[in-house]
Structures are given as C-alpha cells and as structure tokens.
C-alpha cells in the first residue's frame, strides 16, 4: 500500500499540483511512517519463529533431540506445541505434554507469554496504524517529506537494519554472553529462566542452539525486509510522478 501510494504522489517539490488538488509534504507523516515501518518489520521478523512451528520441527533431527532427551519425536512435538499454545495465548494454563515442570519454570513461561503477546500486538498495531495513517494522509492530500532525497521506508529500514547489524555482530562474538544479557534485560530481577533439567526437563527440548538459530532467522528476515524497503525507495525515486 505504501509503495503504491508513494508512487502516485511522489514529487521532488515540497508542494505539487495534481489536477486541481495541492498535495503537501509532511515531516510528521514521514517520521511516523518510518517508525511504524520499523516496528512492523521488527515485530514480523520476531513473529516468524513464534508462529511457524515447522522451524522447530525441522531441527529436532539435526539437533539430536531424541538422542539427547531420550524422548521420541511425537512426544517432543507435543511438549513444544503445548508450550507454544500457552505462550501465544491459545490456552491459559501452562503444560508441556508428558514432561513435568516446576512452579518456577511455569512462571518463566508466563513471562515469555507476555513478551510473545506484546510482539504480536505490536505487529498488528503497527500494520493497522500504518494503513490508517496512509489513508488519512491521502484524504488530507499529504505525502511524507523526503529527507536528503530519501523516503520514510529508506530511513526506517536503514536505522533498524544498521542497529541490528551491530547487535547481531556483537552477539556472534559470544552468543552465550548475549543470551545471558538478553534474559537480564527482558526478565529484570529474575532468575527463573535458569532451569534445572531434573525439575524442568522441558529445557532439554529447548537447547541454546535452537535459540541461536531463532536469532539468526530473525536477523536474516529483518535484514531482508530492510533491503527490500531500501531498494524500493531507490527504484521509486528514479520514476517520474504519475500525471
């Protein structure tokens, strides 16, 4: 929607005349679009490994989870599905299939549930808000102002992509430390994320290598979408406005 709208209304001048209607550029609109696009790309990238369970299923064999846990694949899948059902709000009671769990372990997944639902809420909000904003802008005959010749898609993607390239680069130097820092930041003052496999064997089916692969997937998707937005901005900037 954004690309089509920008193609229709783009012009190098601050104000352009389309027929008998003056379309004005807006700094606020440009900033708001950039922020919403960045939020949408970030939350959508995070949502993929949350919602697409096939990503986990495909790793059961390569990570050797059956040999490591002594459980068969159907049991592992059932435990993972029930954990994800709870964390994504499909059920209100925590369970992990046939695996027992402690009160501390369940409380950590309650914290995870809040983060997962927050990400999905941000995704829905950012996409809905962006659509509403662009419809409002079209109604009011506004277009995002292009700073240094670049649109909000470029700046949102450049800022987000640059930040996560830096974060990803630092995390790759020592993923174990990055894993600890992540939990310290997002679960402040808590240590219930440190599991004892004897009381919470669910941690055996969720090894750190799996979370590393999730991080790689999220970063790859995020950078892909940022590249698409940046490329799209360059392509649109070379096209003449529709008359």
In contact, 35 and 160? CB cutoff 8 Å: no
Q: How far is the C-alpha of 127 from the C-alpha of 132, rounded, in Å?
A: 9
Beta-carbon count within 10 A of 194 CB: 12
Residue 5: is its pLDDT beyond 80?
no
Residue 12: is its pLDDT beyond 70?
no
Q: How far is the C-alpha of 157 from the C-alpha of 39, rounded, in Å?
A: 10
Nearest to 5 by CA among 114, 118, 135, 93: 135
Please, where are the H alpha helices in 70-174?
73-87, 103-139, 152-173
pLDDT digit string, tens, across residues 31-46? 999 999 999 999 999 9
3-state secondary structure of 25: strand
Per-residue pLDDT band at 13 (split at 50, 70, 90): very low
Quote the pLDDT of residue 1.
46
Per-residue pLDDT band at 137 (split at 50, 70, 90): confident
Domain boundaries, the chain: 2-11+27-237
Residue 9: is its pLDDT beyond 60?
no
Q: How far is the C-alpha of 183 from the C-alpha of 193, rounded, in Å?
A: 8
The mean pLDDT of the chain is: 88
Quote the pLDDT of residue 29.
87
3-state secondary structure of 26: strand
Angle at 140 between CA 138 and CA 145, to 5 degrees: 70
Residue 135: is its pLDDT beyond 70?
yes
β-partners of residue 142 are 24
Task: Give the residue-averaged pLDDT of 18-37.
Answer: 78
Q: How far is the C-alpha of 4 from the C-alpha of 6, rounded, in Å?
A: 6
Residue 59: is its pLDDT beyond 90?
yes
Burial of 226 (0-12, 13-18, 19+ CB in 10 A): buried
Q: How far is the C-alpha of 188 from the C-alpha of 18, rounded, in Å?
A: 54
Q: How far is the C-alpha of 51 from the C-alpha of 54, rounded, in Å?
A: 9
Tokens 């029930």 belong to 82
Per-residue pLDDT band at 4 (split at 50, 70, 90): very low
145 half-sphere exposure, CB direction, 13 A CA radius:
11
pLDDT digit string, tens, across residues 166-221? 999 999 999 999 999 999 999 999 999 999 999 999 999 999 999 999 999 999 99
Quote the pLDDT of residue 242.
44
Q: How far is the C-alpha of 3 from the C-alpha of 81, rounded, in Å?
A: 37
Quote the pLDDT of residue 92.
95
Quote the pLDDT of residue 239.
67
Quote the pLDDT of residue 142.
80
Quote the pLDDT of residue 144.
84
The residues near 215 (Cβ < 8 Å, ≥ 6 apart) are: 168, 171, 175
In contact, 156 and 33? CB cutoff 8 Å: yes
């Amino acid at each position: 929607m954004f690309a089509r709208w920008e193609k229709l209304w783009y012009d190098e001048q601050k104000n352009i005349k389309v027929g008998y209607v003056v379309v004005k550029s807006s700094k606020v609109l440009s900033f708001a679009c950039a922020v919403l696009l960045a939020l949408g790309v970030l939350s959508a990238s995070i949502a993929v490994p949350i919602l697409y369970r096939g990503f986990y299923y495909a790793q059961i064999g390569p990570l050797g989870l059956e040999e490591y846990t002594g459980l068969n694949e159907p049991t592992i899948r059932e435990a993972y599905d029930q954990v994800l059902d709870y964390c994504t709000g499909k059920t209100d009671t925590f369970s992990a299939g046939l695996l027992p769990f402690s009160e501390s372990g369940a409380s950590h997944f309650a914290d995870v549930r809040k983060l997962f639902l927050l990400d999905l809420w941000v995704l829905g909000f950012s996409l809905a808000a962006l659509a509403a904003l662009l419809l409002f802008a079209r109604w009011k005959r506004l277009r995002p102002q292009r700073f240094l010749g670049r649109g909000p898609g470029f700046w949102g993607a450049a800022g987000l992509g640059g930040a996560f390239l830096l974060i990803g680069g630092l995390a790759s130097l020592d993923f174990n430390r990055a894993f600890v820092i992540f939990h310290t930041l997002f679960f402040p003052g808590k240590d219930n994320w440190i599991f004892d496999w004897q009381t919470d064997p669910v941690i055996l089916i969720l090894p750190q290598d799996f979370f590393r692969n999730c991080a790689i997937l999220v970063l790859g998707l995020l950078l892909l979408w940022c590249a698409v937005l940046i490329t799209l901005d360059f392509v649109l900037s070379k096209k003449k406005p529709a008359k």
